[in-house]
Structure 1
Amino acid sequence: MQIIEPNDCNECNSRLNSIFCELCANEIQELNDSKKSIMFKKGETIYEENSYPKSLYFVFNGKVKITRMGIDGKEQIMHLAGTGDVIGYDAILCRDKYSSSATAIEDTYLCTIPIDLFFSYLRENQKVTFKVLRLYSKELKDAEKKIISIIQRPVVERIAQSLLSLENNYGFEKDCSTLNFSIKREELASLSGTTRETATRILLDLKKKKIIDVKGRKIKIIDHTKLLKTANLNT
């Protein structure tokens, strides 16, 4: 972890794609004066499960995995966060401990925002409150979908859905086919509710069918139509 020189919130494109996009000029200045900017290296822990929040984290640039430790001692990925996302806000709203941990997947730049300032935005700016409610509702809906998917769907559908989710959230690299997200096999497995071995086997099968190509942690979608069909999203 390293404290770095903060960017100007008035010129921050990441803020414009976040819950803070509707702040008025005075609120932006408050944010500018109060925040701190920190860089977490790949693999560093941002916060730990069962610890208390000290500030709100805003992802200025980078990628973060939100995880819980299972009863078997294995890490379970709950969801992924990227540029423009806030993390740990649920514990702040509940005035409780973190129910999960956050770890930088790559070198990630965060802004820490005082909790009191976050609450003042919620009290005084209805647009911010509405965006937080929408965000919380979306995460709850996504969690419900994931539970149903793990219970009812074959693993191959879950893997395909995870790949499409990565596409939807992070897009492609310049070639317009390689996912803009480097992911380990165990991370994809955890995201899909399966084992590393099963995830690896399914990726190889999808590669043989020329639906995807795999090189290390990079995954290229070759046949988007077939991947959608494999995900079986209409059921």
Structure 2
Amino acid sequence: MTKEELKQVSDSKTSLGYKRGDIIFDEGELLNGVYCIRSGVCKLVKLNSNGKDQTVKLLGKGELIGQRSIISEERTNLSAVALNDVELCYVPKDQILNSLHVNKDFSFDVLQHLAQNLRQAEDDLIDMAQKSVKQRLAETIITLKNDFGVADDGSINVVLTRDDYASIIGTATESVI
């Protein structure tokens, strides 16, 4: 983006804060903007037929939330929830769409990001079908370590409960050590 385009985005954004467990948006909402994570971790969840949340993805600093719904002009098919205290930037839909129309490099970057998300979703679907609970748990722990880093004491820099792990790997809480 040019300096002028960045200034327009910066001038249009607002800062928002959420506490652990706060809902950023619910499944089925029509979004009027895109969220960018400044700090903290959010989870994208889908309510299943049993009334339990299935965690689809964890997102951290620098990642976007809601861009697919803005581009497709569809209601959200997932809910976004703060996993811990989160600071977000919110950029209005009109600003995002204008940037997509006038800046082909920005549009290409967005397309690449969406393609990467689609690839990850395909990989996750294959993992759910072909890997055991133990394998999925081990891979999840490695991914969390790589994505969020490790504290001085050796723990992963994102705190998750057994319920969280079960929701991420698609199993019952009792199956998670």
Shorter-chain TM-score: what band?
A: over 0.9
The answer to whether the aligner puts 1:112 opposite 2:94 as a matched pair is no
Q: CA deviation at 1:191?
A: 0.8
For residues 35-92 of structure 1, the C-alpha deviation after alignment (integer angstroms, 9 at most, x for no partner) is: 1101011110000000110211111111100000001111000101111011011111
Q: Secondary structure of 1:83's match?
A: coil
1:69-148 counterparts in 2 under 5 A?
69-148=47-126
Specify the code of the residue in structure 2 equivalent to 1:57. Answer: Y
Q: CA deviation at 1:144?
A: 1.1
Which residue of the partner structure matches residue 32 of structure 1?
A: 10
Q: Secondary structure of 1:174's match?
A: coil
Q: Tell me which stretches of 4 or more aligned residues in structure 1 moved more than 6 Å.
A: none
- Aligned with 1:189 (options 142, 166, 174): 166
Specify the code of the residue in structure 2 equivalent to 1:139. Answer: N
Q: What percent identity do the matched residue pairs reach? A: 30
Q: CA deviation at 1:133?
A: 1.3
Distance of 1:139 and 1:179 partners within structure 2: 23
Bigger relative CO (Cα 8 Å, ≥ 6 apart): 2
TM-score, normalised by the number of residues in structure 1: 0.73
Specify the code of the residue in structure 2 equivalent to 1:49. Answer: E
Specify the code of the residue in structure 2 equivalent to 1:130. Answer: F
Specify the code of the residue in structure 2 equivalent to 1:185. Answer: R
For residues 2-28 of structure 1, the C-alpha deviation after alignment (integer angstroms, 9 at most, x for no partner) is: xxxxxxxxxxxxxxxxxxxxx221012
The answer to whether the aligner puts 1:178 opposite 2:155 as a matched pair is yes
Larger Rg: 1
Q: CA deviation at 1:149?
A: 1.0
Q: CA deviation at 1:126?
A: 2.2
Q: Secondary structure of 2:151's match?
A: coil
Which residue of the partner structure matches residue 33 of structure 2?
A: 55
Equivalent residue pairs, number: 177
Distance of 1:24 and 1:61 partners within structure 2: 25
For residues 103-156 of structure 1, the C-alpha deviation after alignment (integer angstroms, 9 at most, x for no partner) is: 001110111101111011112222221221121111111111111111111111
Distance of 1:125 and 1:187 partners within structure 2: 39
Unaligned runs of 5+ in 2: none
Unaligned runs of 5+ in 1: 1-22, 201-235
For residues 185-218 of structure 1, the C-alpha deviation after alignment (integer angstroms, 9 at most, x for no partner) is: 1111111111111012xxxxxxxxxxxxxxxxxx
Q: Secondary structure of 2:176's match?
A: helix
Which residue of the partner structure matches residue 175 of structure 2?
A: 198
Query: Aligned Cα RMSD in Å?
Result: 1.1
